[in-house]
Amino acid sequence: MIVDTTTFLLGFGAIFSGLAFHQAILPHEIDFRLKSLSLGYLASFLSLFYLLIRLSIPSPLLLTSLTFLLVNFTLTLSILTHRLFFHRLHNFPGPFLAKVTKWYSVYLSVKNYQHYKEVEKLHQRYGDFVRTGPREISIRKVEALLEIYGAKSGCWKATNYGMNSDDPKGSLHLSRGKTLHTHRRKAWDRAFSISALSSYSSSVSSLTSLLISQLRSQNGAAVDATAWSNYFSFDIMGIIGFGKSWGMLETGEYHDAIKKLHESMFILAVLWQTPWVIRGLDMIPGAARAMKGFRGWCKEQMEEKQKALKDEKFDGKPRNVMEWLLTDEFTMSLPTEAINDDSRLVIIAGSDTISAALAHAIYLMIKNPGVYMKLQRLLDKEFPGGDADFDYTLLSDVPFLDGIINETLRLKPSVPGGLTRITPKEGITIDGTHIPGDVIVSVPIHSIHRDPRYFSQPLEFIPERWTSESPELVKDKRAFVPFSMGSQVCVAKGLAMMELRMALARIALAFDLEFEDGETGRRIEEEVRDTFTLTMPRMGVRFLPRD
Ligand code: HEM
């Protein structure tokens, strides 16, 4: 009889606990309480086990396990029922699995490592508003951009951005608090101001010269254009970010730290969807090693820079991004973890984005020889002596070059996915559709850039749509957002454009381009990996000296 009563009480208690626990956590963001929740769970398990022993109930371990199984079952059932039928997003269309679990997004991420293309397929199937996660909506509408990312938007960064740590220990990019972000952004804005940019231009110019001379020395033999784009962008960030080159353009080889970075980016690609898992990465041996390797190296770069600043008697004039940050009062009042994370941000944000854009531009120009010949013709007119005559300030006379860069970033944005934000309590309304509060929303950049409502012939590479030749092919300019917008817009758009202009103009002046034998560009279309920024496959290209 005592066993029967106990079984009844335990069963009742388990069902009650499962339901009560679900109700208790519903209004809260529990994403980053995984550790404390697991510890609480373990403690409850042990307490019940101990109680049953003290009460001399037979088979205490079996009873405790069954009780917790019932708690788990009730909790899961309660969560599923809520997500499917009562959740504030239950009316929005989307795949069944996306409505019940975020692991569906992880599945989409690892399927081909092209999450943005999977989201695009969902939009083709379900329309402009798609429920991509239990409390997540992807919105393929230009009106959503201002509401979600505009300077006056009430939305703010979603939990993904808290993947490494709580504010203020992450980088500027990962700062979720609005006030914190605004304060931190000031030093970054100074580091990329017009006057700072003009002080960086001679470094960009000399590294571009090195790129051109290294490619010229190959005498038309095939090289991996993706790798050379990487060497170029990372070496520039070495100089502009830290005041020292990493020597990849000189050696023609990847630096060890960059290899580690790319290894860790794959893990991030998957876990970006489930940021609460990243915090527990220490428990996954391989994953932790790759992440720590690159982080450790960034920390060393930062410490070296800090030491140099002290030793060299700083003259009050910052010469690179880290000097701007390390001499900023607010930045220096932050925990060391935040500053270390900023050094990681400089490298990742400043390198993978540029190398993907440069490699994609080369790819698109080989695929569209007419466009490339037109660019060469226009540049030859401006610089009759060829590459030796090159002068960056005269490029403003060749708007077609910016057309090529814009069109590359439209068709192949370096950050292709939706940037996740949380809606304010009162929700937001997009083109008549109300999105409730406390929901994760995003606009998929890749999809909106290819939407026929905003661009005519959206899948064609037509740089003229960005010049005075065919402006009618851009139906709604607001839909072009490769650098995002609002208060979290890319801080270094000016630098990015400078690097891309210099590299592409000088490549066009110096070389004709063709794929190596057997290269079709198929890999670039099919094997690019979405790792928040893009990780590009090999692309064999011959740079044939024009002279
Ligand atoms: C073609 C080149 C580039 C593209 C397409 C690009 C794109 C973007 C996008 C879309 C964002 C918003 C990310 C988000 O909200 O989560 C962003 C932010 C950022 N980008 Fe870029 N970027 C480029 C180059 C660069 C370069 C060269 C740097 C130099 C370090 C840089 C530094 C940053 C930083 C620091 C942020 C964070 C800004 C903030 O949170 O306030 N980017 N970029």
Q: At a CB cut-off of 8 Å and minimum separation 6, what does 334 contact?
A: 168, 184
Q: Is 491 helix (H, G, I), strand (E, B) or coil?
A: coil
Residue 129: φ, ψ to 5° = -115, 115
Q: Is 449 helix (H, G, I), strand (E, B) or coil?
A: helix
What is the structure's pLDDT at 174? 95
Spatial separation of the C-alpha atoms in residues 99 and 84, rounded to whole Å: 7
Q: Is 545 helix (H, G, I), strand (E, B) or coil?
A: strand
What is the structure's pLDDT at 29? 85
- CA 357 – ligand 1 centroid, Å: 13
Angle at CA 137, nearest 5°, toward 113 and 431?
A: 130
What is the structure's pLDDT at 356? 98
The stretch 2-28 carries a mean pLDDT of: 91
**Nearest CA-CA partner of 275 in 165, 424, 423:** 165
- CA 417 – ligand 1 centroid, Å: 13
- CA 418 – ligand 1 centroid, Å: 14
Q: pTM of the full predicted structure? A: 0.95
Spatial separation of the C-alpha atoms in residues 264 and 491, rounded to whole Å: 24
pLDDT tens by residue, 393-423: 999 999 999 999 999 999 999 999 999 999 9
**Do residues 357 and 409 touch, judged by C-beta distance below 8 A?**
yes
Answer yes or no: is pLDDT of 2 > 90.
no
pLDDT tens by residue, 300-352: 989 988 888 888 777 888 999 999 999 999 999 999 999 999 999 999 999 99
Neighbouring C-beta atoms of residue 362, cutoff 10 Å: 26
- CA 317 – ligand 1 centroid, Å: 24
Identify the band that residue 288 occupies on the pLDDT scale cut at 50, 70 and 90. Answer: low
Q: At a CB cut-off of 8 Å and minimum separation 6, what does 324 contact?
A: 187, 188, 190, 191, 196, 318
- CA 353 – ligand 1 centroid, Å: 8
Answer yes or no: is pLDDT of 529 > 60.
yes
Residue nearest to atom 28 of ligand 1 (CA): 350
- CA 482 – ligand 1 centroid, Å: 9
- CB burial class (10 A; 0-12, 13-18, 19+) of residue 374? middle
pLDDT tens by residue, 431-445: 999 999 999 999 999
pLDDT tens by residue, 88-141: 999 999 999 999 999 999 999 999 899 999 999 999 999 999 999 999 999 999
**Nearest CA-CA partner of 401 in 415, 414, 416, 382:** 382
Residue nearest to atom 9 of ligand 1 (CA): 483
Element containing residue 475 per DSSP (H, E): none
- CA 445 – ligand 1 centroid, Å: 14
Identify the band that residue 83 occupies on the pLDDT scale cut at 50, 70 and 90. Answer: very high
Residue nearest to atom 43 of ligand 1 (CA): 490
Q: Which atom of ligand 1 has the smallest separation from the CA of 172?
A: 40
Answer yes or no: is pLDDT of 290 > 80.
no
Q: Which atom of ligand 1 has the smallest separation from the CA of 482?
A: 5
Q: Picking from 3-12, 167-176, 243-252, 352-361, which range would have the lowest pLDDT averaged per residue? A: 3-12
The stretch 26-49 carries a mean pLDDT of: 91
- CA 341 – ligand 1 centroid, Å: 15
Q: State the complex-level ipTM.
A: 0.99
Q: Is 92 helix (H, G, I), strand (E, B) or coil?
A: coil
Spatial separation of the C-alpha atoms in residues 434 and 541, rounded to whole Å: 49
The string over 133-171, giving b where at least 16 C-beta atoms fall within 10 Å of a residue's C-beta and e elsewhere, is bbbbbbbbbbbbbebbbeeebbbbbbbbbbbbbebbbbb
Q: Which atom of ligand 1 has the smallest separation from the CA of 347?
A: 30
Residue ranges of the domains in the chain?
5-86, 172-545
pLDDT tens by residue, 242-285: 999 899 999 999 998 888 888 878 777 777 888 887 776 655 56
SS (H, E, C) 166-207: CCCCCCCCCCCCHHHHHHHHHHHHHHCCHHHHHHHHHHHHHH
Spatial separation of the C-alpha atoms in residues 380 and 378, rounded to whole Å: 6
Spatial separation of the C-alpha atoms in residues 41 and 72, rounded to whole Å: 11
- CA 381 – ligand 1 centroid, Å: 34
Please give the share of the chain, as a percent, with pLDDT higher than 70: 97
Q: At a CB cut-off of 8 Å and minimum separation 6, what does 458 contact?
A: 449, 450, 451, 452
Task: Decide which of 36 and 69 is more confident.
Answer: 69
What is the structure's pLDDT at 4? 84
What is the structure's pLDDT at 273? 85
Identify the band that residue 289 occupies on the pLDDT scale cut at 50, 70 and 90. Answer: low
**Nearest CA-CA partner of 17 in 71, 60, 58:** 71
What is the structure's pLDDT at 3? 59
Q: Which atom of ligand 1 has the smallest separation from the CA of 321?
A: 30
Pocket of ligand 1 (CB under 6 A): 172-173, 185, 188, 345-346, 349-350, 353-354, 357, 409, 414-415, 419, 482-484, 488, 490-492, 495-496
Residue nearest to atom 7 of ligand 1 (CA): 483
- Round the average pLDDT of the chain to a whole number and report it: 94
For residue 320, give Cα distances in angstroms to 110, 198, 306, 346, 513. Answer: 37, 12, 12, 11, 34
Q: Which tokens sit at 315?
A: 């003259």
**Do residues 454 and 142 touch, judged by C-beta distance below 8 A?**
yes
Q: Which tokens sit at 149?
A: 């990312």
Residue nearest to atom 14 of ligand 1 (CA): 419
Q: Which atom of ligand 1 has the smallest separation from the CA of 481?
A: 10
Q: Is 517 helix (H, G, I), strand (E, B) or coil?
A: coil
Neighbouring C-beta atoms of residue 519, cutoff 10 Å: 19
Angle at CA 275, nearest 5°, toward 270 and 280?
A: 95
Q: At a CB cut-off of 8 Å and minimum separation 6, what does 503 contact?
A: 208, 211, 232, 358
Task: Answer yes or no: is 298 a known binding residue.
Answer: no
**Do residues 327 and 378 touch, judged by C-beta distance below 8 A?**
no
Answer yes or no: is pLDDT of 480 > 70.
yes
Residue nearest to atom 17 of ligand 1 (CA): 490
- CB burial class (10 A; 0-12, 13-18, 19+) of residue 18? buried
The DSSP secondary structure of 58-70, one letter per residue, reads SSHHHHHHHHHHH
What superfamily in CATH does domain 172-545 come from? Cytochrome P450 (1.10.630.10)
Q: Which atom of ligand 1 has the smallest separation from the CA of 414?
A: 5
Answer yes or no: is pLDDT of 229 > 80.
yes
Please give the share of the chain, as a percent, with pLDDT higher than 90: 83
What is the structure's pLDDT at 281? 66
Q: Which atom of ligand 1 has the smallest separation from the CA of 495?
A: 27
What is the structure's pLDDT at 308? 86
Spatial separation of the C-alpha atoms in residues 237 and 318, rounded to whole Å: 15
- How far, rounded to the nearest angstrom, does the alpha carbon of residue 537 sit from its chain's CA centroid? 18
Q: Is 481 helix (H, G, I), strand (E, B) or coil?
A: coil
**Pocket-testing residue among 490, 500, 504, ligand 1, by greatest number of atoms within 8 A of Cβ:** 490
β-sheet bridge partners, residue 157:
421
